[in-house]
Amino acid sequence: MSDAFDLLILGSGSTAFAAAIRAADLGARVAMVERRTLGGTCANRGCLPSKNLIEAARIVHEAAHPRYAGLTPGTVGVDFGALVAQKDGVVREYRAKKYASVAGGLADLELIDGDAAFADPHTVRVGDRLVMGDRILVATGSRPAIPAIPGLDAVPCLTSDVLDADEAGRLTELPASLAVLGGGYIAVELAQMFSRLGSRVTIVARSGLLRGYEPELGRTLAEVLAAEGIEVLGHSRVDHVGGDAAGVELSVEQGGAGRVVRAERLLVATGRTPDTATLNLAAAGVAVGRDGSVTVDAQLRTSQPHIWAAGDVIGRQHGSQTATPVGARQGRIVADNAFADAGRAFDGSVIPRAIFTDPPIAVVGRAEAEARAEGIPVRAATTPLAYVPRAGAVHKTAGLVKFVVSERDERVLGVHVIGESAPEIIHEAAMAMRFGASLDDFIDLIHVYPTMSEALKIGAQAFSRDVSKLSCCAE
């Protein structure tokens, strides 16, 4: 016998919950299958715990490095065990309020623990139980990608799951030294965090930092990290990894020369991959890409008309990104399409995203090289944050803002910021781009003075005037 549901969801993260809530609103009986911890990656081992500890590390760093003359450096002691314990408490409270209690408030939702694998296009097996869905959503997210490097499989290493509150593999002691393999957003966030808490950190990356972003962002961040004492080995290849629980050794080739990087622990942060390997999607007749991502159309429907996929599990299709709010939007779209025949398509053209380093990074829209590769004639201008009054007033001038605009009509196609408050001010750019704003729209908007958001007004003015000669209020 099998249990039948109107909607069967594989996963329990933001994508799954958005779909479940909307489907319940539309009268559906829903089941959600989770093999790990309720709430998925973001709540348990990703966004929430990392931002908690990143902020703690910022406090430690700023106490030791005050930006103002007249302030004496101080020392904030770090009890890493206690710091991790408070982080775990935040995660568990958030999970209880935002996931468990929400699930409990949905009368027609059943939570099922265990590994799910398709038995046929309408049925999954969870342990000894068969669960059937009239409609099915695959929302199993992503997992850390582990590169094929000789020796790596025999060496104990940490992954981006290191901050999980309740699973094996979590870190409870601060390593004296840490080698970080990777140069993406997870790698740089965690590298700076561990360095500021007291670890000696070396980053080893195949390219420069933040490949795929505007190159000015990665270069600026690399300078900041180096100034903080983090060794950045960019454009490097790891030929072999050795070691044991007492320490690791990376044989690295950089610029034709070899060297050995030694550290107490190794953190592998080389990206994430769709988590589909154990789902037996072939039994459901669901097509997947070479990277394991579930193939979907613009309405997030798979090759089986009654099965949808959304969130990290679909990779970069249709402009999607591995981000919690993106998954939540897609989950809602799936429920609308599945139960209201809404015909909604996912639009990934304007998605702001951020990297929570210090200074932080935030971007929306196309990069300059990306636009040119698409054959779009564009102009670009880069403005140092030193020209923003607020940045100078609070001694946070490291950074820049870069605009990418259409040559045809000066419509803004991309905004890229590294600097104080970047994740907050990027929403102005995103909203403007959503409604097709031009450079003049950014210039004509009166901004509060002094704020970091003036960087957008000044950055837009840089196309037509020398912004180093502006008076206050950027008029």
Query: What is the reported pLDDT for 2?
Result: 53
Query: What is the reported pLDDT for 471?
Result: 84
**Tokens of residue 28, six digits:** 């559906």
Nearest Cα residue to 303 out of 118, 144, 35, 70: 118
Mean pLDDT in residue range 332-342: 97
Query: What is the reported pLDDT for 474?
Result: 64
Sorted by sequence, the CB contacts under 8 Å of residue 458 that are 6+ apart come out as 383, 387, 388, 401, 467, 470, 474
pTM attached to this predicted model = 0.95
Query: What is the reported pLDDT for 247?
Result: 94
- pLDDT, tens digit, for every residue of 236-250? 999 999 998 789 999
Mean pLDDT, the chain, rounded, equals 95
Tell me: pLDDT of 337 over 90: yes
Residue 306 lies in a domain: yes
Angle at 389 between CA 385 and CA 393, to 5 degrees: 100
Residue 471 lies in a domain: no
Q: Do 358 and 461 sit in the same domain of this protein? A: yes
Query: What is the reported pLDDT for 381?
Result: 98
pLDDT band, very low/low/confident/very high, at 167 (cuts 50, 70, 90):
confident
CATH code, domain with 365? 3.30.390.30
CATH code, domain with 253? 3.50.50.60
Residue 346 lies in a domain: no
- pLDDT, tens digit, for every residue of 371-388? 999 999 999 999 999 999
Residue 473 lies in a domain: no
Mean pLDDT in residue range 136-156: 95
Residue 474 lies in a domain: no
Q: Do 22 and 48 sit in the same domain of this protein? A: yes
Lowest mean pLDDT of 76-90, 160-174, 270-284, name the range. Answer: 160-174
Rounded CA-CA distance 4/134 in Å is: 7
Query: What is the reported pLDDT for 3?
Result: 77
Q: Which domain holds residue 359?
A: 353-466
> Would you call 195 exposed, middle or buried from its count of C-beta atoms within 10 A (0-12, 13-18, 19+)?
buried
Kind of pairing, strands 378-384 and 307-309?
unpaired
Rounded CA-CA distance 374/234 in Å is: 28
Tell me: pLDDT of 171 over 90: no
- pLDDT, tens digit, for every residue of 433-445? 999 999 999 999 9
- pLDDT, tens digit, for every residue of 37-64? 988 988 888 899 999 999 999 999 999 9
pLDDT band, very low/low/confident/very high, at 339 (cuts 50, 70, 90):
very high
**Tokens of residue 141, six digits:** 């997210």
pLDDT band, very low/low/confident/very high, at 1 (cuts 50, 70, 90):
very low
Counting the structural domains of the chain, the total is: 3
